[in-house]
Structure 1
């Protein structure tokens, strides 16, 4: 992976770029700010956050969380440019659906999937809002490094539960909250942020701005439980084989603490 892409992954992780805390969170303003970034420069973010990669140093090829998706209906939350949907389509999923905040990413996904000979139903909408996605319909709902953008985690998880059939599976990945708190300084790892701080903040990147919130693992776990999910598996350890195959500034950190976490949950 190019170092530039790694730096962009890290801005969703530890605060290694210029950032400023916000006094409050206006949902519409957050949507406008983040969709503007993805409409203009966000495509450069993609690389390590499309299947079979769940993010830094964790892969579906090793974890096998999906298993066989042949004949299954799948929905991606935060589908980006469509490469993860391509991955599912090439594994014979019967229906591909995607939702994304960015109209430009939806356009890119449509073009990309068409060029691959695949069709998908793509919707431009915030994940928190009703947008015509059918309920009790999908075998899998998944999200690769997108759930953390939501302004309403519990509401989003409830919507996702409503989209799934009974016993359906929800898989998502995001930057690990410990990764959010620790930065590399020379040959040391240093805490720069309180783990319990879930306030929203703005990050300057590539002459653009993103707005994010860092949530504790317990926040995700409890929100899943309240939405009617049971967690079947959680992965946070980096894949040693991927670490060994790369030579960059992040590998030392990845050996010491988790950079990404992945959750597989099932609708009760």
Structure 2
């Protein structure tokens, strides 16, 4: 069963999004949209990995993408996904999902790939899906956040030891995978990608003044956002 099909986890996650207490609306979505605005979206064939309820997929369709294939493993998230005539949803495990060679112009993923164990294999598949000059844009939980073997508020530990981490987030035993920034970038380069941008979205002082819960994210970056081209 997908983590997001666990009723307790799903209710906690949706409550977080409804109340705006997470980092998505304040940090990740604006940063992702800014990177995507520099890309030729109109007429593009797009794949969204770990699409959730389809927010990013629909934004890309609205920006002129010819078609968006939005993929997620969660039955509940897809059941609630926003509908759009140029967005097609498919239930599949991102870790094993595959497409024909050269069938996409843009592959995106928003805060999902830290759940994938074999990042190297995923990058290799994405490189094959993309047409020449295609782009891969993704955000993940920042390695500063995933590094500690024992979750801690602001303590970075065990950074060099990549691999599985277990967290309590709404429920116990949530599995994520830690990778260093250097390892992520090196994997992209080995598979023919050229790094276009690397960002660590952080709240401004004004945002913290308005939303004090964001203050912790000025002490360590919560998100890593990368754009790369074939």
TM normalised by structure 2 equals: 0.82
Q: Which residue of 2 aligns with 1:70?
A: 42
Aligned residues: 219
Q: Give the 3 Å change call, closer, same or farther, for CA 42–68 of structure 1 in structure 2.
A: farther
Q: CA deviation at 1:237?
A: 4.3
* SS of 2:134 mapped into structure 1: strand
Q: Flag structure 2 segments of 5+ consecutive residues without an equivalent.
A: none
* Pair 1:45 & 2:13 matched: yes
Distance 1:76 1:64 in 2: 13
Q: Give the 3 Å change call, closer, same or farther, for CA 232–205 of structure 1 in structure 2.
A: closer
* SS of 1:54 mapped into structure 2: helix
* SS of 1:128 mapped into structure 2: coil
TM normalised by structure 1 equals: 0.71
**Preserved CA contact (<8 Å) 1:52 1:59:** no
Q: CA deviation at 1:92?
A: 1.7
Task: Give per-residue Cα distances to partners, 1:53-111, cap 9 Å, x unaligned.
Answer: 526xx5245445544412111110101011111111211211011111222222222xx
Aligned counterpart for 1:177 among listed residues 137, 140, 143: 143
Q: Give the 3 Å change call, closer, same or farther, for CA 231–208 of structure 1 in structure 2.
A: same
Q: CA deviation at 1:49?
A: 6.7
Q: Which residue of 2 aligns with 1:151?
A: 117
Q: Which residue of 1 aligns with 2:28?
A: 54
Q: Which residue of 2 aligns with 1:233?
A: 197
Aligned counterpart for 1:126 among listed residues 45, 69, 93: 93
Q: Which residue of 2 aligns with 1:255?
A: 218
Q: CA deviation at 1:163?
A: 1.3
Aligned-residue CA RMSD in angstroms? 2.7
Q: Give the 3 Å change call, closer, same or farther, for CA 169–241 of structure 1 in structure 2.
A: farther
Distance 2:182 2:157 in 1: 17
Q: Bigger relative contact order, structure 1 or 2, given CA contacts below 8 A and separation 6+?
A: 1
Q: Flag structure 1 segments of 5+ consecutive residues without an equivalent.
A: 1-31, 185-189
Task: Give per-residue Cα distances to partners, 1:5-27, cap 9 Å, x unaligned.
Answer: xxxxxxxxxxxxxxxxxxxxxxx
